[in-house]
């Protein structure tokens, strides 16, 4: 046990220029899988200029995961879009909109994404393996 004065951690959190959201990036859930980024952009353009719209896709199937990010040009436009579209039902799905915690998605880490387990695939254990 160290009884000396506390040691300051020199490393600290990694600096990430995109880590802080200035308020213009929205996290949107309840996006129907049939909606394209262009269609979602059109919904938000009623409230201002859309800088970027990104619907998150399953890396294996390339199908929509039902959520994404919409970055408006200003925080005021983002606030207006959030207020105007919150709870709207589009194609039978209810939109939920929150300020994103980050200004942009995380930088992907190297390596293979395995994702959730696939239906119909089972873990095969050797015959000598016993479960207690």
Domains with residue ranges and CATH for the chain: 25-99 (3.30.70.330)
* Residues 17-75 pLDDT 10s: 455 667 899 999 999 999 999 999 999 999 999 999 999 999 889 999 999 999 999 99
List of residues 6+ apart from 105 with CB closer than 8 A: 54, 69
Mean pLDDT for all residues in the chain? 81
Return the bridge partners of 97, or none: 28
- The string of DSSP codes covering 2-17 is --SSPPP-SS-SPP-T
Q: How many Å apart are CA 29 and CA 27, to the nearest integer?
A: 7
Say which residue, 39 or 107, is predicted with more confidence. 39
pTM over 0.75: no
Q: How many Å apart are CA 56 and CA 67, to the nearest integer?
A: 6
């Amino acid at each position: 046990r160290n009884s000396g004065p506390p040691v300051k951690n020199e490393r600290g959190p990694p600096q990430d220029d995109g880590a802080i959201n200035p308020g213009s990036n929205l996290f949107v859930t309840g996006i129907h899988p049939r909606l394209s980024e262009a269609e979602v952009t059109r919904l938000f353009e009623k409230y201002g200029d859309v800088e970027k719209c990104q619907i998150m896709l399953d890396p294996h199937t390339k199908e929509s995961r039902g959520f994404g990010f919409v970055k408006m040009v200003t925080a005021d436009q983002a606030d207006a879009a959030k207020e105007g579209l919150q709870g709207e039902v589009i194609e039978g799905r209810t939109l939920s909109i929150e300020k994103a915690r980050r200004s942009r998605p995380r930088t992907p880490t190297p390596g293979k994404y395995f994702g959730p387990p696939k239906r119909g695939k089972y873990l095969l254990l050797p015959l000598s393996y016993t479960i207690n």
